Each structure stands twice: as structure tokens, then as C-alpha cells.
Structure 1
């Protein structure tokens, strides 16, 4: 119960700060105060607005916000989000572009389960929609999943990915972003052994920890330094009574957010100070760069305890994928079983989460794959976010990935005009 009390205490603190922000904004905006203009009141209202919005976002799942896309015919086509497969811990969804002929390129984006929702890849999806049928894994917030749904660890995650690949068929091209890279690699290898005809055409791994020890970072150093007992004692809590997952053991999103923010505390502090001043001066807008970024960044989700702990223990400490010793459902997976799925690795030169070399290690594990089906790209000057959602992705990496898919998927060229 003490961990449930801790979970509720964190939610109480968040809720209190949201209330304080709303109260400060309402008080400082009292009409009578307008008769005596006071910069302090303007600053209080601005602080309240930024604070209330920030703390409110922490418990809200962002909307995809992709309403239309401009296609090759020059028209804007309505986009609807449709569930293809519904599962307790995550769905497979499709972005249906209405009124457009179905694209032969079929892409499955496997989103990370690392504290943020799949909407973190919103701009990635938007950039691919003009040129492909886009599907994505939409992982659920563990706090909303009843205990009766059972466990969900990295083996279950791998099995989910296999099921999604089966659903989409062998013509699918898979792109795994960050955290899921080693698990999607294992899922592909498992399919290669059990159901060769269900393998995807291509697999693109973007900035993932295939071998975390290849190039150490603060993230990998933490994984090696902390003991599992200490991690379980300090990071794992039970969902409180406010949510449907009451009693489920989780790594809380609010705790994860604290870790995210502390890594660049000075930068975040300055960003919020600057935003308060912009609001006070009337220069801020609802969709300005600060709000666009932090509306997504602050929206965090809980991970199941077993998923978080097994990731640290088996991927970062045990290096099971890096050593080709990963086990799924009692069966040892051999990455060397991948013999016909073309694999491309993308890394960022300045990636401080999955540093260059960590993801590239995948190519050495593909002992059964011909060299002509292996490819890699190191994006100069790009950080972690930039290689899948920033300018580097849009201008350089995306065209390279689509060219790689076209070269290896056997899709008729008439259907493959890439939008610029």
C-alpha cells in the first residue's frame, strides 16, 4: 500500500500545481485589476497560464491531430485513424487517407514504449503519409489497464509485434524507432524461423539499443550501475484508486518525466521562464513552438513494471539481443535466421540516448543475411529526436529510407513517386 500511497501522492502534487496555476491566472485576471495596471499581476497571470497548461498535459493523451494530407493529385485528402487490431496493451492503427488510391508501400511504424505515447511520432507519420499506407503501434497507458489483463514484459511486446506483422502480411515494411529496435529485430528473426512467409519485406532500425555497451552513454551507464533490487524499490509503484489499473505495478509516467527533465534541467527551466515572459508580453500563441513541443513532451504514460524491469535487466544489463541469446516464450531466438529481409540501420552523430554504434551492432548479428541486403546511415550533426522526427529526418533520412524500401520490396516503380 505504501507504493500506492506514493503514486497517489505524486498525482496529488500534480493536481495541486494544476489548480494553483488555474487559480493564479483567474485571480490575476480579475476585471477590477485592469483599472490599475500592474506588471506583477501580468506576470502572475502568465505564470498561472503556463503552469496550469503544463501540469494538465501530464495526464492527457495527445490527439494525433492529422486531419488531412496533400497527395500527388494536388488535393487535400481527409485522414481518419482506424483500429486494425485491438489488444489490451496496445492497438495496431491505420491512417486511412480517404479518396486516395491505396499505396503499394505499406509501412509499419513500431513506436517506442519509453514513457511517451505513440503520438511522439506524429511528424514521422505526417511525412510518410503522402507516399505510403502508414500503420503504427499505439501502446496503452498501463494505469488504464486492469490487473485482470495480466502481465506485459519485453517478451509480450515482441509477440505483439509478431502478431501485427502477421496481420499486415509479408508485403509490409517495418520501421522501429529507438527502444523497440532490439525487440523488433528479435520478432523478425522469430518469424523467420517459425513462419518464413510472414516476414516483412524490409526492416529499418532507427537509433535503437541493439548493443548498449557498444558506445556507452548516460543511459547505459545508469543501467549498468543500478542494481535490479534498488531499481524495483525506488522506481516501481502501484496505480492508485483514480484509474482503472488500480493495484497494477508500474513505472509511473510522472516519475519518468522527472528523470527526463533532470537530464537537461537548466535548458527546461530557461524554456519555461522565457515562455512565461512571452505570455506576459502577449507574444505567445496556443500553438507556438514552446507549446507544440511541451504539449507532447509533458504527456507521459505509465509502463508496466515487468516491461521496464525486464528491459533494464535483459536488454541493458544482460545484453541478450547483443549476445544473440534472447528468449521468447521459452524459445531461443537466433538473429541469424533472418536471411531475406533487407535491414537498414540509421543513427545520429550526436545521439546521446542511443549513441552511434549501438544500433549498428545489428548488422553483425545478421550472419545469415547477404551483405547486399544490409545498409547503414550515420546522419551528421543529428541528435536522437532529429533522426526520426526533425529536419534531418525530413530532408535526408526519410528519402533514404523510402529508397531503401523501394529497392528491396519489389514494388512496381509506377506506384513509387516520392513526394518532395
Structure 2
């Protein structure tokens, strides 16, 4: 019960700060105060606006907001989000470009389940849509899933990926971003053993902890320092009564967000104060760089306790993927069984979440895959976020990934063979305030 009290206390604190922000904004905006030539009232209203928005967005799932895609016919084609497979803990969704013929390239983006929503990959989706049909794993907030839905750990996650790949068929090209990279590799190996005809054409692993011991980071050091008992006592809470998942044990998104913020408290504090000054000076806008970044960064979701604990215990501490000892549903997965899926790894030279060496370790595990079907790329100046959504992704990594897909598929369509040219640039977060998002 104390865990439930802790969960509701965090939510009450968030609610209080949102109320304080709204109150300050409202009180400092009374017309009569405009007669007093004191800048403090403008600053108070600006502080209230920034504070209210910051704490309100923490419990709201961001919308995808995908703009129309320009087609070769010279028209703009609206994009709608369609659910292909619906499951309790996550859906497979498709970005349907209205009025456009099916594309030769079909891509499944495996989004991380690490405290942020799949919308973290919005700019990645936007960059790929002009040249491919795009699907995404849309994971659900654990607090909204009834206890009756059962558990969800890394084995269940892997089986979800297997089902999604089987649904999309063997002509799909899979791109896994960070946290799901080792589990996506395991899901592909499981298909190679059980249903080889359902394997994807290509698999691209971006900044994932295949072997966390290959290069130490703060994330891997934390995994070594704490015991599982300490994690259970300090990181887990029970969902409160106001949510559908009442009673479910979770790793709360708000708790993870507080950890993220504390790691770069000075940077975030400066960004928030600069935004207050911008609002007070009338230079801020609803979609400026600050709001674009923090609308996503502050929107967090809860993870099931079993998923969080099994990730730490089996991926980071036990190194089950790194040592090819991963077991799913009682069956030991052999990554060496992958013999026909072309695999590419992508790493960032300045990645402080999954450091260079952790992801490329996957290629050594692919003992049954010919060398010509293996590839790796290191973007020297890219941080963690930049390798899948920033300027480095758009300018350098994305074209290489599409070329890798085309080189290892037999689509034979002029559409798939054309150069990977980005038609639409919607979101540039390369210079956004704040650190790389830990995913």
C-alpha cells in the first residue's frame, strides 16, 4: 500500500505545480496590473505559463502530428494513423499516406519502451515516409492497462515483435532504435528457427545495448552498482485508484523523468528560465524549439515493473543477449540461426547512453550470417538522439540505411531503387535545448 501512496504523492505534486503555474499566470494577467509599470508581473505570468505547460504535458500522450507528404504527382497527401494489430500492452500502427500507391520499401520502426512514448520517433517517421510505407510499435502506458491483462516482461516484448513481424510479412525491413535492439535481434533469431519464411529482409540496429559491457556508460555503471532488491524497493510503485491499471506494479514515468532531469539539472534550469524570458518578452511561440523539444521530453509513460526489472537483470546484469543465452518462453534463442537477414548496426561517436561498441557487438553473435550481409556504421559526432532523429540521422545515416535496405531486397521497383532523397523536413531538433533523451 505504501507504494500506492508514493505513486499518488508524485501525481499530487505534479498537479500542485501545474495549479501553481496556472494560478500565477492568471493572477499576473489581470488587466488592471498593466497600469503598474513593473516587469515582475510579466515575469510572473511568463513563469506561470511555462510551469503550467511543463507539468501538464507530463501526463499527456503527444499526438503524432504528421503533416501531409508531397507526392510525385505534385499533390500533398494527408497522413492518417491506422491500427494494424491491437494488443493489451502495445499496438502495431501504420502511417497511411492517402492517395498514394503502396511503396516498395516497407519499414517497421521498433520504438523503445523506456519511459517515453513512441512519438519520440516522430521526426524519424517523417524522414522515412516520403520513400517508404512505415509501421511503428506503439507501446501503451502501463498505468492504463488493467491488472487482469497479466504481466509484460522482456520475453513478452520479444513475442510481441515476433507477432508484428509475422503480420507484416517477409518483405518488411526492421529498424530497432536503442533499447529494443537486443530484443529485436532475439525476435529475428526466433523467427529464423521457427518460421524462417517469416523473417524480415533486413534488420538495422541503432544505438542498442547488445553488449552493455563492451563500453561503459552511466547507464551500465548504474546497472552494476545497484542490486535487484534495491531497485524493487526504490524504483517501483503501485498505480493509484484514478487509473485503469490500479494496483499494477510499475516503474513510474515521473520517477524516471526526475532522474533524467537531475542528471542535467543546470541545463534544464537554464532552458526553462530562458523560455520564461522569451514568453515575457513576447518572442516565444507555441511551436518554438523549446516547446517542440519539451513537449516530447516531458511526456512520460509508466513501464511494467517486470519489464523494467527483467531488462536490468537479464540484459544489463546477466548479459543474456551478449552471451547468446537468452530464453523466451522456455526456449533458448540462438542468434547464430540468423543466416539470411542482412544486419546493419549504427552507432554515435558521442553517444553517452549506448556507447560505441555496444551495438556493433551484434555482428559477432551472427555466426551463421555471411560477412557480405553484415554492415556497420559509426557517426563520429552524433550523440544518442542524433543517430535516429537529429541532423546526423537525416543527412548521413538515413540515406545509408535506405541504401542498405535496397541493396538487400529484391523489390525490383524503380521506387525502391531510386536515390534516398529526403523530400520533407518537418522537425529539426539538432539544436534543441536539453540533453540527449535516454531511450
| TM-score, length-scaled by structure 2 | 0.95
Report Cα offsets for 1:337-365 as digits up to 9, x if no partner. Answer: 00000000000000000000000000000
1:390 to partner: Cα distance: 0.1
In the other structure, the counterpart of 1:63 is 63
Q: Deviations over 1:266-289 (max 9, x none)?
A: 111110011111111111000000
Query: Within 5 Å, which residues of 2 pair with 1:158-169?
Result: 158-169=158-169
Q: Secondary structure at the match of 1:376?
A: strand
Measure the CA separation in 2 of the matches of 1:395 and 1:13. 42
Q: Name the residue aligned to 1:96.
A: 96
Q: Give yes or no for contact 2:84–2:94 (8 Å, CA) kept in 1.
A: yes
- 1:413 deviation in Å? 4.2
For 1:419, the equivalent position in structure 2 comes to 421
Aligned to 2:37: 37
Please state how far the C-alpha of 1:371 moved relative to its aligned partner. 0.2
| Cα offset, 1:323, TM superposition | 0.3
Q: Does 1:260 align with 2:257?
A: no
- Long gaps (5+) in structure 2: 423-439
Alignment check: 8 A CA contact 2:399 2:421 kept: no
Shift of residue 176, structure 1, vs aligned partner:
0.1
Q: Which residue of 2 aligns with 1:175?
A: 175
Post-superposition Cα deviations, 1:208-231, rounded to whole Å, max 9, x if no partner, equal 000000000000000011000000
Kept in 2: contact 1:116–1:301 (CA 8 A): yes
Aligned-pair CA distance for 1:104: 1.2
Residues 67 and 80 in structure 1, CA contact (< 8 A), matched pair in contact too: no
Counterpart Cα distance in 2 of 1:72 and 1:86: 32
State the 4+ residue runs in structure 1 displaced beyond 3 angstroms.
none
Question: Is 2:147 the counterpart of 1:133?
Answer: no
Name the residue aligned to 1:149. 149
69-78 vs 118-127, greater mean Cα deviation: 69-78
> Does the CA-based 8 Å contact 1:206-1:346 persist in structure 2?
yes
Aligned residues of 2:387 and 2:393 also touching (Cα < 8 A): yes
TM-score, normalised via structure 1 length? 0.99
Distance in 2 (CA, whole Å) between partners of 1:166 and 1:358 is: 28
Q: Counterparts of 2:42 and 2:272 in 1: how far apart (Å)?
A: 16
The aligned residue for residue 394 of structure 1 is 394
- In structure 1, runs of 5+ residues without a counterpart are none
CA contact (8 A) 1:190 1:334 kept: yes
SS at match of 1:24: helix
Displacement, 1:8?
0.1
CA RMSD after TM alignment: 0.6
Equivalent-residue separation in structure 2 for 1:284 and 1:355 (angstroms): 35
* Separation of aligned partners in 2, 1:376 and 1:72: 32
Residues 266-345 of structure 1: pairs in structure 2 closer than 5 A:
266-345=266-345
Q: Aligned partners of 2:163 and 2:264: how far apart in 1?
A: 38
User: 1:290: how far off?
Assistant: 0.2
Bigger mean CA offset, 264-273 vs 9-18: 264-273
CA contact (8 A) 1:107 1:175 kept: yes
Aligned-pair distance for 1:400? Answer: 0.2
